[in-house]
């Protein structure tokens, strides 16, 4: 998986095996022809083999499917409304506060895959391009709408921080995750108390630089003080063997325990606190969706790990059935931008008044996105924004092979 919907290579349903994190293989012998003589060379590990391979790493179908689910969930949430009252409405809004966290977790995972295969100019040129592109597109999108909060500028900053995160040992990343999960929301509450709850829609092209930085760090809908957590969890996931069924099952179990456990604790704490839960330091014990508090972060990120693990397991067992969903996931950036542009035109500033209207608009918008995927898939080309994101003009030219003396024409 590449970052933000890297276009899939090869066949529609790529094998789950053979990617990064494959188990060690037995020592094998490879016969090579060298100037008419046969010589034997030994490969001692799969890692050595992977480092010498040329070409893209096979995609994990389950990760693309999970990314598609994130897109579908964000469409439902961004269409709205989000003030659920009945049980059916609560089930419909299950993606609220979870789909975007899933999206960011997968972004961290994909960035980990991206970083492990690059260094030097091969890293910084494409990374800088992606940061600039996501920042520019995100600011431009936010300038078109006040009814949807665009997550791409936060993505850009997280991508910029990714090389520093990648250099840290895994135990440091785990410690960082725990610290930010508590300290980040505490700083947000402190700022909220001293500045009387100042919030904004997110930075746009017309936002002054100092306000844009403050929005990205603290006051925006996706502040880095809290949204760094799911991204770092994704980076940690990129370091484990996602082809191991036993490990993925453990991830599903622990993700589910975190999701449900934190939700139960937050719900209980909110009931006990009563009206005090809405303001001040007691907010740290609540779990309101997009409230940026620790229990919400734990529950939503745990849910994201559960969904990723479930999709990986289902992708292995139901590869053909999951492939259609996975194809949608390979166009994630294009579909995200397209759905925001559509909502900028059709969604009223006051929002949609009923769940029936919201469900209708969501169904129509999702049908449009599926139609775009089906038609574009027939071209065999990567998505438009995925192609731009992959920066083909930044790739170093292939080395020129000069003929040897024996191969020189006479």
Residue 187 is assigned to a structural domain of this protein? yes
Look at the chain and report how many structural domains it folds into.
1
In terms of pLDDT, which residue wins out, 177 or 193?
177
pLDDT of residue 99: 96
Q: How confident is the model at residue 362 (pLDDT cuts 50, 70, 90)?
A: very high
What's the pLDDT score for residue 396? Answer: 53
d(CA 110, CA 3): 4
Mean pLDDT of 336-356: 90
80-94, 223-237, 245-259, 279-293: which range is least confident on average?
80-94
Give the dihedral sign, CA 273/279/284/287: positive
DSSP 29: E
Q: How confident is the model at residue 58 (pLDDT cuts 50, 70, 90)?
A: low
Name the β-bridge partners of 39: 32
All residues at 6 or more sequence positions from 82 whose CB lies less than 8 Å from its CB, including other chains:
93, 96, 289
Mean predicted confidence (pLDDT) in 38-42: 37
State the greatest distance between any 2 C-alpha atoms of the chain, in Å, as a whole number: 91
Q: Is residue 280 part of a domain?
A: yes
Q: What is the DSSP string of 55-83?
A: SPPPP-HHHHHHHHHHHHHHHHHHH----
Residue 392: per-residue pLDDT = 59
Q: What is the DSSP code (8-state) at residue 150? A: -
Overall residue count recorded for the chain in this entry: 410
Residue 232 lies in a domain: yes
pLDDT at position 390 over 90: no
Q: Determine, yes or no, domain membership for 15.
A: no
Establish if 362 belongs to a structural domain.
yes
Q: Is residue 17 part of a domain?
A: no
Residue 283 to residues 189, 217, 229, 294, 328, Cα–Cα distance (Å) = 8, 19, 18, 9, 37
- Is 121 part of any domain? yes
Domain interval for residue 92: 28-45+57-392
Confidence check: pLDDT of 175 > 70: yes
224-237: pLDDT as tens digits = 999 999 999 999 99
Task: Please indicate, yes or no, if residue 203 is contained in any of the structural domains.
Answer: yes
pLDDT value at position 8? 40
pLDDT tens-place string over residues 84-119: 888 888 898 999 999 999 999 999 999 999 998 887
Least confident window among 151-155, 194-198, 283-287, 400-404: 400-404
Lowest mean pLDDT among 74-78, 192-196, 286-290, 337-341: 192-196
Mean pLDDT (whole number) for 212-218: 95
Banded pLDDT at 198 (limits 50, 70, 90):
confident
């Amino acid at each position: 998986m590449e970052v933000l919907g890297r276009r899939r290579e090869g066949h529609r349903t790529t094998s789950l095996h053979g990617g990064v994190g494959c188990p060690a293989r037995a020592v094998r012998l490879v016969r090579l022809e060298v100037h008419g003589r046969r010589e034997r060379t030994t490969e001692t590990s799969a890692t050595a083999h992977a480092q010498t391979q040329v070409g893209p790493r096979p995609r994990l179908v389950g990760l693309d499917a999970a990314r598609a689910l994130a897109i579908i969930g964000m469409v439902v949430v961004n269409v709205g409304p989000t003030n659920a009252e009945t049980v059916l409405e609560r089930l419909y809004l299950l993606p609220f506060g979870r789909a975007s966290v899933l999206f960011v977790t997968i972004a961290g995972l994909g960035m980990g895959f991206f970083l492990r295969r690059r260094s030097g100019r091969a890293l910084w040129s494409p990374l800088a391009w992606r940061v600039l592109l996501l920042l520019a597109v995100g600011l431009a999108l936010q300038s078109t709408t006040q009814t949807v909060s665009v997550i791409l500028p936060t993505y850009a900053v997280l991508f910029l921080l990714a090389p520093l995160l990648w250099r840290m040992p895994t135990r440091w990343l785990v410690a960082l995750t725990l610290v930010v999960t508590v300290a980040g929301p505490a700083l947000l509450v402190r700022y909220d108390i001293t500045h009387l709850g100042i919030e904004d829609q997110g930075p746009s092209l017309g936002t002054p630089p100092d306000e844009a930085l403050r929005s990205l760090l603290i006051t925006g809908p996706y502040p880095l003080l809290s949204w760094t957590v799911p991204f770092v969890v994704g980076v940690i996931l990129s370091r484990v063997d996602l082809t191991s069924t036993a490990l993925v099952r453990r991830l599903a179990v622990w993700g589910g325990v975190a999701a449900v456990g934190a939700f139960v604790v937050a719900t209980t704490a909110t009931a006990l606190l009563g009206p005090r839960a809405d303001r001040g330091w007691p907010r740290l014990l609540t779990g309101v969706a997009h409230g940026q508090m620790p229990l919400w972060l734990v529950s939503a990120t745990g849910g994201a790990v559960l969904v990723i693990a479930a999709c990986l397991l289902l992708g292995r067992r139901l590869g053909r059935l999951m492939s259609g969903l996975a194809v949608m996931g390979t166009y994630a950036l294009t579909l995200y931008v397209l759905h925001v542009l559509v909502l900028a035109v059709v969604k009223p500033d006051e929002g949609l008044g009923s769940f029936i209207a919201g469900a209708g608009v969501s169904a129509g918008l999702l049908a449009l996105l599926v139609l775009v995927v089906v038609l574009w898939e027939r071209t065999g080309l990567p998505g438009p924004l995925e192609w731009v994101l992959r920066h083909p003009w930044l790739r170093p030219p292939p080395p020129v092979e000069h003929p040897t003396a024996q191969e020189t024409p006479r």
